[in-house]
Structure 1
Amino acid sequence: MKRHSSIRRFKASLYASIAMMSGWATAHAQEAGASNADGNEIIVTARRRVESIQDTPISVTAIAPSQLEGAAALTIGDLQGAAPNVLITIAPTGAAAANASIRGIAFADIEKSFDPAVGVNVDGVYIGTSTGQMLDFFDIASIEILRGPQGTLFGRNTIAGVINVRRTRPTGEWGGKFEASMGRYGSFGARAILNVPIVEGVLAAKLFEMHQQSDGFYKTIGTGQKRGGSNNENFGGSLLFTPSDKFDALLTLEQQQQKFDPITSSLTRAGDAFCDYLPTGLCGGNITDDLYNVFPVGEHIGRYKAPAATLEMNLQAGGVKISSVTSYRESKETQQQDFSTAGLYLARRDQKYHQISQELRAAGDIGSKIDYVSGLYYFKSKYHILQHTLVFGAPVPYQDTVGKSESYAAFLDLNWEILPRVRVSGGGRWTHDEKSMFTKLGGTSLTLSPTTKSWSKFTPKAGIDYRPNDDMMFYGSWSRGYRSGGFNGRGLSAFSASQPYDPETVDSFEVGLKSEWLDRKLSINVAAFHTNYKSIQQSTTVALPAPSTGNETVVTNAASAKIKGLEMDLTLRPVEGLTLRSSVGYTKSKFGGFIVTQPVTTGVTLGGAPITENRNFDFSGVDLIYAPKITFSVNGEYTHPVDVGNFSGKIKLNAGYRYLARYDQQIAADPALYITAVQAGSSTVIVPRNDPRLRSDPQNLVDASISYIWDMNTAGAKGRVTIYGRNLLDDRGSNTAFTVAAWPTLWGFSSAREPSTYGVQVGFEF
């Protein structure tokens, strides 16, 4: 009783604080990614403070807008491999959806009942689902990739890390930025930003529109028709109110929408249940070139619409900075596809989702030796999914699920300079989560009462850093991350639809060095980490009796794991105009105690019917998903002044190479290795590896561009023409891969990596 009473008091206090303080916030900090006068110092806000990246005692990579422009990057997916131990792939079963992995920790699922393992924050707002995370990169001020759990300042569901994105703010002056692009596969883009002063020094506006479309790079077997196309829009506006230098308020209204052709490739092999019923070419193909040939049946539909509103208000109240970020986001999705089964399995999913969030922060100094950030946070979401499915043309019970989530937290983070050049840091976050879910299977008697479960967790952090001189810092830290428990949004039985899974936790130990050399022309940042990953929320496929679809994917707390690794970021400016960047990441990971009990068809019959029995499967020897042992990148950017006629300008050359070692994309046993053990009647089947078709081959990705940028007048207007190429080696293979069901596998499907592409961009800025 005391515990529930304290929770109610905290909740009441949080609501009251929001009501009283919603108009307060800190004075707006210098935008992350900015440089000082010498052009070398990078400013970040990774710890909710404005500080140099070299003074920030965590592993963080800052991506400057000029890097994105030089690489002709379009979405967050183009960051894959650009930072150590970071993967970001496109999920083929969701709208604008990302599968993000940092340091070998990922959760590749688009279902809104599940929480991402990597937190994506846009302008201080946490995006609560994987869908909608594929952001357009045209209107970006800075991107910071924080590696390791960020539970104290960024909250739950950041056990792997955070991708922190800040967009540009209204400038208060007339100005704009426009760009048009054309490329291979019918790619066309048009983007525009217009800054408008309304009341000088008091009220300013920014309008933005971003459009990107493509015909797709998949080819239909027999006709050659292009498939996989998309049409993306992101538009809106911002109002900035600055009545004094002590207060400002920024309101952003926007909408993200997408129409797309949700095409996937076939991974089905001989032995899969669907293989004998598929057209020629859809069973037994390779996992490179054959992935680009498809045979869709029926109408494939993908639609997504997500309006959002964010209000950020800032107040400097004496020596205390107080911040408020309020946000509302909703989405509607419709998706219909056959998942490369030529119509044998056809599903239509209609989803609605909305989230609201409120964060209040106070920051300041205590004396001359201590600084702090503290705050309160509230998050609430609701989703509804209605799925209709046809299997071999026959309808199966439709799924109708409603899920709700509510979370609130309090946090404190401190820095204390205990000795000259020595700081200790620490803090923690207390979070309370409550989730509920209601499921009905149409056409059956299964209607479950709403099921509710709550969890509370304290996630602390402690660290120390030492600066022997102004160009070097050593640091060490321990932090704990937490991902909320929940319910199985795809549960198709009375047990799975009502049985919750528990939270998972991460304890991460890290030591690192940040250093600058050669009069700050060279920076080298290195880190070593060791992660204890407990109660892992793992997707598992189990068989179901009729009249279901025959299987369901559920999440259970199946295992633990240990992950350790090394990371390095290097930046070198050897001569004027030339910048070289490189990153290296290494991870070594291993499951522990990963045993799953699942029903299998043994091959033994009774009365002509196959016998199904439970078996224990030991997955401890398989690889974690999206956890390549090595990631490596190197990028060069060279700018040289050039005069063409009456125009003064510069040539900008950009070239980069990214290497990603092989990695598995799903936990699913290799059928060739376990079938003998199953039929032999072993009580525990040792699974030494995942299904090989779920393994991405090593990737060698080369990108390059050349730009001419010139002054169009003396008022500062500039023009730009860029010719670019991505994946110039035409490295082909799977992007995200799945097999459906087990013992036996029904079929497999995948999305393919973008093949070699090229194009031209024309831009104008004033």
Structure 2
Amino acid sequence: MFAALAALTVGASVPQVVSAAPGVLEEITVTARKREESMQDVGLAVSALSETEIQRQFARDIQDLANISPNTIIDDTGQGPGGTAAIYIRGVGVADLEKNFDPAVGVSVDGVFIGSTAGALLRGIDIARVEVLRGPQGTLFGRNTVGGLINITRTQPTGELGGRFRAGVENYDTYYLDGIFNFAVTDDLAVKLTAAKREQKEGYYDNVTVRGDQGRSDFQALGANFLWNATDTLELEYTYHQEDLDQDTPALVNATRPDQVFCIAYGYCADSLDTTITGDRWGVAGGGGRPPAPPSFETNITTVDQIEPAFMDAFFDTKTHILEARWELTDTLRFDYIYGRWESDEDSLQDWDGTPELLYHTQRPGEWEQDSHEMRLTYDAGGALNIVGGLFFWDSEYESRMRSYIGFAVPGLILDIPQTTNQTTESVAAFFEADYRLNEQWTLTLGGRYTEDEKESRQFGEVNTLDQGRTTHPSDEWSEFTPKVGVRYNMSDDVMFYATYSKGFRAGGFNGRVASLEEAIQPYEPETIDNYEIGVKSELMDRRLRLNATVFHMQYKDKQEELQLPSNQTDTGQKTVVINPSEATIQGIELELQAYLNENFSVRANLGYLDSEYDDFVYTDVEGSVTDLSGLEFRRAPELTGTLDATYEWDMAGGTAWIRGGYRFIDDHFTNATNNVELANDAQHLVDASVNYSINNLQFSLFGRNLTDEDAYTHGYEVAGLWSYAATRPPRTYGFEVVYSFNN
């Protein structure tokens, strides 16, 4: 019966690649609009990679796949365990580990939106498709997609006995093993099992304080996927996935300027202001001390004898449950239901000062839970009108129990400051999107989504939201309608022009790092983006050349900014605030190319140009001074990004050999909102390559990433005149792997 599943899985959100003759580009099917369509027929800016293309990039997680899309930056900021994702599309994104801040670029896995940046880098071993949707996706994917969306789909059970098993080794004493195993229990029930293990025993960094390497990690994952063809018209699918990561706390380097306190008072200064990174980037001074046991809330650490010269450690564990029902009600009407639960448990003892001393360290155990329900109806009679509409329900809860260990505020005393933050979120939405074909050439698209959000924030510790006679914790509600209007013009079967207006909405909320009750009860407001874009998609030269282009203009309103400001209310003399002080304009051009130069030689390239600037960025600090940052550039918004990827493939000794080379250019850019020069990146030239041979069921590969060993900050932060710290890109890595597959 599984042979008949193809007809039913039209609504299964599993993008596919339609096979093509040698030397002809494959047709890529995507689910960017909650239904399967050819990527070339979708009137929005979207890039996609197939399962084969993903495997050929030897990606550890989705940050290794950022090169598929222009104007896209994906980094691990090193601020916490599990990978705190900084995903920026067209200069729009969030790079904060605090889960009170909603993402600005969404990540969706098998139709389930992931509401946290921590863990969003995703180390999936069974990914069938990655799609990068650029620009606001507020109509179909909702809140917190003002910049765009990373849409990830994993493979489904095949219903046949088969599998794929991989083993590899890399430098830094790294090895990995993973596998996918498919089988059928009955004619109607198929199962897919997955497992993965990756261990790095030698860190990238040399900790000069404890004289050892830092950056080790141990990752394990297990998954099970059940696909039941209940009737000829009803299909049920359940997925369970679990990941466990133990690691050294991510290393942060000292980037302190000569005019900052930690340089003046303690002598811990960055090497130079002329270059962002000098000398041995892999030498870090931090991570050299921690309390031997968590001190009580009442007892402060009073001497350095209570500090262990040991590595700090961290863990990040996740569990995912996804249940999906796909029901063909009639020949023209389909009902889809998706339930998703994603939960994480984490702890991290982090050195933020980047020095051998305990000046500012934190321990922050935390939990995140989210549940979502989406019900969707799709009407497609093969005529002029196609409609998709539905309802969406979301609730989440986050709690962080942070302990701050502060060694610079009071001479001879190390303060232990506890603060517990709890936030709950409820969101409901109704949405629709309709295509109406006016004639053979013109198609009109109309869509909209109405969203209501409610959040409640609770603070306990130094700041208590029930202080001063308050009987309820602060809460607030927001609502927004995000429309979409588009038109497509098919000039021919191979060339399509489109124009789109869309609006994005990022929810308001409450600051999770507060210095006073006043800040704790005062919410920040939502931000919105109005996006206007025109584009062309074409397949030329008998489908040997695919050329797409987009021009866009975006107006940012009430942009949320998290800023570090001086404060007389805290022991550290600084505080983090979240405000809506800015308006901005973003505009640019995106070009994408895929081509077969002959039957053996294929290339893929893209180029992004981005012009981002704050039109109005004015705020008042704690002393009443007005600061005007208008005219500054966006962080993580390089003017130019570009990728050139080439593959040459040929028959050899009864098998197939291929060589792949990839080049990525990232222009100079800032990593923080205030454009600090010590936290800026010079232009980067990244090169990856591999040599591969496949015969029968075996594949052998030699590969390398960042072969130019480029230095760069993946995150940078200035702490209100006290010090600056940064996280850095992994160095050159290389390895060898073997893959065995059968019926896969």
Instruction: State whether TM-score is above 0.5.
Output: yes
- C-alpha separation between the residues in 2 aligned to 1:254 and 1:127? 14
The match for 1:517 is: 540
Query: What one-letter code is carried by the residue in structure 1 that aligns with 2:544?
Result: K
Residue 723 of structure 1 is matched in structure 2 by 702
Q: Does 1:134 find its partner at 2:146?
A: no
**Which residue of structure 2 lines up, in the alignment, with residue 368 of structure 1?**
383
- Does residue 709 of the first structure (1) align with residue 694 of the second (2)? yes
1:760 match: 736
* Structure 1 residue 547: Cα displacement: 4.9
Structure 1 match to 2:355:
341
Match of 2:430 in 1: 410
Is 1:291 the counterpart of 2:301? The answer is: no
What does residue 269 of structure 1 align with?
257
**Are residue 329 (structure 1) and residue 347 (structure 2) matched?**
no
Deviates further, 373-382 or 545-554? 545-554
Partner in structure 2 of residue 429 of structure 1: 449
- 1:582 match: 605
CA distance in 2, matches of 1:522, 1:623: 35
- Deviation of 1:312 after TM superposition, in Å, equals 1.0
Asked whether the equivalents of residues 526 and 560 of structure 2 are also in contact (C-alpha less than 8 Å), the reply is yes
**Aligned match for 1:419, one of 415, 420, 439:** 439
Measured after TM superposition, the shift of residue 283 of structure 1 is 6.2
What is the DSSP-based 3-state SS (H/G/I as helix, E as strand, rest coil) of the residue aligned with 1:81?
A: helix
> Structure 1 CA distance, aligned partners of 2:190 and 2:600?
34
Matched, 1:314 2:326: yes
Contact 2:464 2:517 in 1 (8 A): no
Post-superposition offset of 1:301: 2.0
* Residue 640 (structure 1) aligned with residue 650 (structure 2): yes
Write the letter of the residue equivalent to 2:459: T
Among 713, 723, 739, the alignment partner of 1:747 is: 723
TM-superposed CA distance for 1:227, in Å, is: 0.5
Aligned length: 694
8 Å contact from structure 1 (residues 27, 246) kept in 2: no
Asked whether the equivalents of residues 14 and 154 of structure 2 are also in contact (C-alpha less than 8 Å), the reply is no
Comparing 470-479 with 327-336, greater Cα deviation is found at 327-336
Does residue 1:471 correspond to 2:447, yes or no? no
Counterpart-to-counterpart distance in 1, 2:379 and 2:431: 15
Contact 2:84 2:95 in 1 (8 A): no
Question: Does structure 1 conserve the Cα–Cα contact (< 8 Å) formed by 2:458 and 2:465?
Answer: no
Moved more, 75-84 or 471-480: 75-84
**Contact 2:459 2:465 (8 Å CA) reproduced:** no
Q: Aligned in 2, Cα 1:444/1:487: closer, same or farther, shift over 3 Å?
A: closer
Distance 1:268 1:281, change over 3 A: closer
* Corresponding position of 2:365: 350
1:235-250 matches, within 5 Å, as 235-250=222-237
Task: Confirm whether residue 382 of structure 1 aligns to residue 394 of structure 2.
Answer: no
* SS of residue paired to 2:240: strand
CA deviation profile, 1:584-612 (whole Å, cap 9, x unmatched)? 0001011112001113xxxxxxxxxxxxx
Mapped to 2, the partners of 1:436 and 1:402 lie a distance apart of: 8
Q: Which residue of structure 2 lines up, in the alignment, with residue 15 of structure 1? A: none
Residue in 1 that maps onto 2:52: 66
- 1:378 corresponds to which letter in structure 2? F
Structure 2 stretches of 5 or more lacking a match? 1-7, 291-311, 408-412
| Residues 27 and 315, structure 1, Cα contact 8 Å, conserved in 2 | no
Deviation readout 1:717-742 (Å, 9 max, x if unpaired): x111110011111111212111112x
**Deviation at 1:622?**
1.5
**How far did residue 194 of structure 1 move?**
0.8
Displacement of 1:451 after TM fit?
Answer: 0.4
Matched, 1:459 2:459: no
Q: How do 1:345-744 and structure 2 match up within 5 A? A: 345-365=360-380, 368-392=383-407, 393-442=413-462, 447=467, 449-545=472-568, 547-599=570-622, 613-643=623-653, 648-668=654-674, 690-711=675-696, 718-741=697-720
Structure 2 CA distance for partners of 1:203 and 1:435, relative to 1, 3 Å? same
**More displaced, 367-376 or 394-403?**
394-403
Q: Equivalent residue for 2:303?
A: none
- Contact preservation (8 Å) 1:397, 1:547: no
Q: Which amino acid aligns with 1:327?
A: G
Counterpart CA distance in 2 for 1:341 and 1:440 is 30
1:40 maps onto 2:26 in alignment: yes
TM-score relative to the length of structure 2? 0.91
Deviates more, 1:331-340 or 1:154-163: 331-340
Q: State how far apart, in whole Å, the 1-side matches of 2:722 and 2:261 are.
A: 5
Partners of 1:273 and 1:719 in 2: how far apart? Answer: 58
Deviations 1:262-314 (A, max 9, x none): 22111112121112455767665853244321122224121111112110111
What's the CA shift string for 1:20-53, capped at 9, x where partnerless?
Answer: xxxxx97544731412444521111111121111
Name the aligned partner's letter for residue 747 of structure 1.
W
Q: State which drifts further: 133-142 or 377-386.
A: 133-142
Distance 1:167 1:376 in 2: 24
**Could you tell me how far apart the structure 2 residues matched to 1:738 and 1:521 are?**
46
- Structure 2 distance, partners of 1:633, 1:512, is 20
Aligned amino acid, residue 32 of structure 1: P
Alpha-carbon distance change, 444 to 486 in structure 1, aligned in 2, over 3 angstroms: closer
1:196 paired to 2:183: yes
* Counterpart Cα distance in 1 of 2:382 and 2:262: 70
Structure 1: any 5+ residue segments left out of the alignment? 1-24, 600-612, 669-689, 712-717
Q: Which residue of 2 aligns with 1:161?
A: 148
Q: Secondary structure at the match of 1:620?
A: coil
* Contact 1:474/1:512, CA 8 A, preserved across alignment: yes
Match of 1:16 in 2: none
Specify whether residues 443 and 141 from structure 1 end up closer, same or farther in structure 2 by C-alpha distance, changes over 3 A only: closer
SS for the counterpart of 2:79 is coil
Q: Quick one: distance in 2 between partners of 1:582 and 1:404?
A: 43
CA contact (8 A) 1:71 1:655 kept: no
How many angstroms apart in 1 are the aligned matches of 2:236 and 2:283? Answer: 51
Larger deviation: 447-456 or 525-534?
447-456
CA distance in 2, matches of 1:60, 1:378: 26
Coordinate RMSD, CA, aligned: 1.8
CA separation of 1:278 and 1:293: change in aligned 2, threshold 3 A:
farther
Over the matched positions of the two proteins, sequence identity in percent amounts to 34
